[in-house]
């Protein structure tokens, strides 16, 4: 077990004020240091008397002096307070995942401090340190209702840090977290957005000394979701939707973990599981049986026609069977069918015969009534269960305030009681809830392919090339990949690659099913589309990857590997080192940009499309070869192009 080290603040006197009273100064300015590997966290008192911390890794500053504390019932906690260590213990976890890997292994050290206030009251400050990052949270004991009016929590980054954030020029930015991923210098963050200085999580930071820090939160239950306000001087401060009005927490107050994920490489970043690991384990009784939680791909009519009728959804079940997909997503409109519950029951019965499960859509406002323990929600879920449907897609939460977070958890719990899976839309990003509630099989909180239909679309290639290292680090995302009939500036090979580079246990495929099944130019990739998994055993990011420019990601399922490459920018030659493969030979099916082919005319292929100037697309070509670990594959990436390779073990 690692020891807590007390050191004099003399060595960091520039960080705190010096008073004339030597004895009082030495006591006040003690520094508590925690070390894990090459990461050191120091706890101290800032010049204004507030508790603070800083992070160093490899003797380089990751976070400079950043404040700690919160305001509860009108009282500022952490001001002129003292710390004492109550407990230190090692954490070792291993648990199954549906996502980037089949099993997560997490080790770290937990430190629990008692914070004593000047008035004699106390509360707890917890830190966790691991190779994957640093996280902390506050716990305030109490009975009845405690009123939270904000936090002092802040994050001060080094000069010349490059910050990746999502942007949208309307109020949907912080309602649904469906913004385009952009970057700016840390100094620009207070004014970079037309929507103001508040940013949603996550923020991926490229540090000037090399490596990455990603700001996130974990274990978001019974609290309001944190945003970050850029306040100048390279700093972000915790911000909440409720503003000065605050929010109530009944009984013991435990905040979510405030996380700084640390990674030397993009491979380390993409494989970071700290956020999930900081969430509670699933309830052993509620999830005693999880066989009903089954990852798989889904058909979806919305991309090629909204507000579908029963006949169209009936046909979608047939197409799901033809494609080998596990599910059909019945979106908005089914509630206007005649005898809606009878119709959905009939559809589910038919789908079950075909080996296809049905998800149904619902607007959150119609079931978000906390009275009588969400009785209206429970009645709706009971009705869904009686039809034979296997899951629900609940939409338009439009925020992350305390009431919405409580609604989210109530939905996950009550759906689990009925063995129903959940797909959240119109929601905030993931904070690892899927570990506690594995029936959450996907959530939006991402700017996905539906934007290509909208006036503010289409998605640029740079957004796609940033996603694996920004939004997807903390959890699955319902991007709804594969838009061949409306790819914007990207190519068909780029679109194919999103099936590998992005992940979602419930992977809702956008493209028109009949287009996939019947279009001659798609047929060489049809088997790949049918068989590509939605969850993985192992993930490896190729070293050429660069956020917003190139995402090259290999993933393994059983003995087979899949590689997806997303390019943003000019055409490029790329050498793929196959050393990530296992022993022996593999058959490589290679899909690359066909720069010599005639471009595909997209006019008339999708009645919902808003093509604008992108009315043609570059097709892909397929080749095959036998490869092994020692092989290097050369590919050509077109402008905003991509590549996909399926490696089948011989």
Rounded mean pLDDT, 83-106: 97
Cα(200)–Cα(400) distance, integer angstroms? 10
Please report the pLDDT score of residue 140 as a whole number. Answer: 97
Q: What is the mean pLDDT of residues 11-15?
A: 33
Distance CA 356, CA 348 (A): 8
CATH 3.20.20.70 in the chain, residue ranges: 284-445, 482-507+522-650
CA distance 211 to 510: 35
Question: Could you read off the pLDDT of 203-230 as tens digits, one per residue?
Answer: 999 999 999 999 999 999 999 999 999 9
Distance CA 515, CA 305 (A): 13
In percent, the amount of the chain with pLDDT more than 70 equals 96
* Band of pLDDT at residue 391, cut at 50, 70 and 90: very high
Q: Cα separation of 23 and 592, whole Å?
A: 70
Q: Do residues 165 and 177 make contact, with C-beta atoms less than 8 angstroms apart?
A: no
Instruction: Answer whether 266's CB lies under 8 Å from 217's CB.
Output: no
Q: Which CATH number fits domain 5-277: 2.70.98.10, 2.40.110.10, 3.30.70.380, 2.60.90.10?
A: 2.70.98.10
Asked if the model's pLDDT at residue 388 lies above 50, the reply is yes
From the list 414, 416, 480, 407, the residue with the least C-alpha distance to 443 is: 480
- Taking the C-alpha atoms of residue 484 and residue 514, their distance in angstroms, rounded to an integer, is 12
Cβ atoms of 246 and 148 closer than 8 Å: yes
Handedness of CA 535, 527, 530, 450 (dihedral sign): positive
pLDDT in tens, 589-636: 999 999 999 999 999 999 999 999 999 999 999 999 999 999 999 999
Give me the sign of the Cα torsion angle 18, 19, 20, 23: negative
Residue 308 banded pLDDT, cuts 50, 70, 90: confident
Q: Which of 275, 188, 260, 280 is nearest to 230 (CA)?
A: 188
What pLDDT does 336 receive? Answer: 95
14 — pLDDT class (breaks 50, 70, 90):
very low
Residues 376 and 380: their CA atoms lie apart, in Å, by: 6
- The full length of the chain comes to 650
pLDDT at residue 2, rounded to an integer = 38
Rounded mean pLDDT, 548-561: 98
Q: What are phi and psi of 428, to 5 degrees?
A: -80, 175
Euclidean distance between CA atoms 316 and 339, whole angstroms: 20
Give DSSP secondary structure letters for 183-231.
Answer: EEEGGGTTTS-TT-SEEPSPEEEE-TTSSEEEEEEE---SSPPEEEEEE
| pLDDT class of 25 with cuts at 50, 70, 90 | very low
pLDDT of residue 416: 98
**CA 516 to each of CA 285, 299, 366, 601: distance values in angstroms, whole numbers, following the listed order:** 42, 11, 35, 16
Q: What is the mean pLDDT of residues 524-553?
A: 98
pLDDT at 104 over 90: yes
User: What is the mean pLDDT of the segment spanning 569-582?
Assistant: 98
What pLDDT is recorded for position 437? 98
Q: Is the pLDDT of residue 408 over 70?
A: yes
CATH code of the domain occupying 482-507+522-650: 3.20.20.70
Helix (H) or strand (E) holding 89: strand 82-96
Instruction: Give one DSSP letter per residue of 455-471, joined into a string.
Output: TT-PPPHHHHHHGGGTG
pLDDT in tens, 448-469: 999 999 999 999 999 999 999 9
What integer pLDDT is reported at residue 28 of this predicted model? 52
Q: Which of 509, 506, 541, 538 is nearest to 526 (CA)?
A: 509
What is the pairing mode between strands 327-330 and 296-300? Answer: parallel
- Look at residue 12 in the predicted model and tell me its pLDDT: 33
Q: What is the pTM of this model?
A: 0.94
**pLDDT computed for residue 307 by the predictor:** 82
Band of the pLDDT at 29, cuts 50, 70, 90? low
Does 531 score more than 90 pLDDT? Answer: yes
Give CATH 2.70.98.10 domain extents, the chain. 5-277
* Structure-model confidence comparison of residues 247 and 11, the more confident one: 247
Hey, what CATH topology would domain 284-445 get? TIM Barrel (3.20.20)
231-244 core/surface letters (b: 16 or more CB in 10 A; e: else) = eeebbbbbbbbbee
Would you say residue 4 has pLDDT above 60?
no
Selection from 9, 143, 4, 125 nearest residue 70 by Cα: 125
Across the chain, what does the average pLDDT equal?
95
Inter-residue contact 204 to 212 (CB < 8 Å): yes
DSSP code of residue 50: B
Does residue 147 have a pLDDT over 60? Answer: yes
Give how far Cα 616 sits from Cα of 480, 513, 514, 583, 608, Å.
Answer: 21, 20, 20, 41, 16
């Amino acid at each position: 077990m690692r020891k807590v080290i007390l050191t004099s603040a003399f060595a960091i006197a520039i960080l705190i004020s010096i008073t004339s009273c030597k004895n009082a100064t030495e006591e006040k300015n003690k520094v508590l240091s925690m070390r894990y590997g090459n990461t050191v966290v120091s706890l101290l008192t800032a010049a204004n008397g507030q508790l603070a911390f800083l992070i160093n890794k490899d003797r380089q500053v990751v976070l400079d002096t950043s404040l700690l504390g919160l305001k509860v019932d009108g009282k500022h906690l952490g001001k002129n307070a003292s710390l004492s260590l109550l407990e230190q213990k090692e954490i070792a976890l291993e648990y199954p995942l549906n996502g980037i890997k089949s099993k997560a292994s997490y080790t770290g050290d937990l430190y629990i401090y008692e914070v004593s206030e000047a008035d004699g009251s106390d509360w707890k400050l917890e830190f966790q340190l691991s190779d994957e990052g640093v996280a902390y949270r506050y716990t305030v004991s109490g009975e009845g209702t405690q009123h939270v009016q904000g936090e002092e929590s802040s994050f001060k980054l080094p000069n010349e840090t490059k910050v990746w954030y999502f942007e949208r020029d309307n109020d949907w930015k912080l309602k649904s977290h469906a913004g385009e991923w952009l970057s700016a210098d840390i100094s620009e963050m207070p004014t970079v957005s037309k929507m103001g200085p508040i940013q949603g999580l996550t923020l991926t930071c490229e540090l000037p000394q090399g490596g990455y820090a990603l700001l996130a939160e974990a274990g978001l239950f019974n609290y309001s979701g944190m945003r970050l306000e850029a306040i100048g001087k390279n700093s972000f401060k915790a911000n909440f939707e409720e503003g000065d009005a605050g929010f109530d927490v009944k009984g013991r107050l435990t905040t979510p973990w405030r996380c700084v994920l640390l990674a030397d490489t993009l491979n380390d970043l993409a494989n970071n599981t700290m956020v999930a690991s900081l969430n509670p384990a699933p309830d052993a009784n509620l999830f005693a049986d999880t066989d009903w939680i089954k990852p798989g791909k889904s058909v979806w009519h919305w991309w090629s026609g909204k507000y579908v009728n029963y006949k169209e959804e009936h046909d979608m079940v047939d197409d799901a069977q033809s494609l080998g997909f596990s599910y059909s997503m019945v979106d908005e409109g089914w509630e206007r069918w005649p005898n809606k519950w009878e119709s959905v029951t009939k559809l589910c019965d038919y789908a079950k015969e075909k080996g296809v499960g049905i998800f149904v859509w619902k607007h959150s406002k119609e079931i978000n009534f906390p009275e009588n323990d969400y009785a209206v929600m429970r009645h709706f879920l009971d009705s869904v269960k009686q039809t034979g449907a296997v899951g629900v897609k609940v939409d338009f939460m439009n925020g992350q305030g305390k009431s919405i977070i409580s609604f989210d958890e109530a939905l996950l719990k009550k759906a689990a009681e009925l063995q129903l899976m959940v797909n959240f839309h119109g929601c905030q990003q993931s904070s690892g809830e899927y570990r506690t509630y594995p029936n959450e099989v996907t959530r939006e909180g991402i700017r996905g392919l539906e934007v290509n239909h909208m006036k503010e679309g289409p998605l640029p290639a740079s957004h796609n090339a940033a996603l694996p290292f920004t939004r997807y680090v903390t959890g699955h995302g319902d991007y709804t990949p594969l838009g061949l009939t409306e790819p914007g500036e990207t190519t068909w090979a780029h679109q194919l690659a999103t099936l590998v580079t992005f992940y979602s246990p419930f992977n809702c495929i956008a493209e028109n099913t009949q287009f996939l099944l019947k279009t001659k130019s798609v047929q060489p990739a049809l088997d790949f589309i049918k068989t590509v998994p939605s969850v993985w055993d192992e993930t490896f990011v190729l070293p050429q990857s660069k956020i917003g420019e190139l995402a090259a990601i290999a993933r393994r399922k059983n003995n087979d590997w899949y590689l997806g490459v997303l390019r943003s920018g000019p055409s490029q030659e790329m050498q793929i080192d196959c050393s990530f493969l296992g022993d022996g030979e593999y058959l490589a099916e290679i899909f690359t940009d066909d720069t010599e082919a005639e471009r595909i005319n997209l006019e008339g292929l999708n009645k919902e499309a808003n093509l604008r100037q992108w009315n043609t697309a570059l097709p892909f070509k397929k080749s095959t070869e036998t490869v092994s670990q020692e092989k290097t594959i050369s590919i050509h990436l077109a402008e905003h192009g991509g590549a996909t390779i399926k490696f089948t073990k011989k």
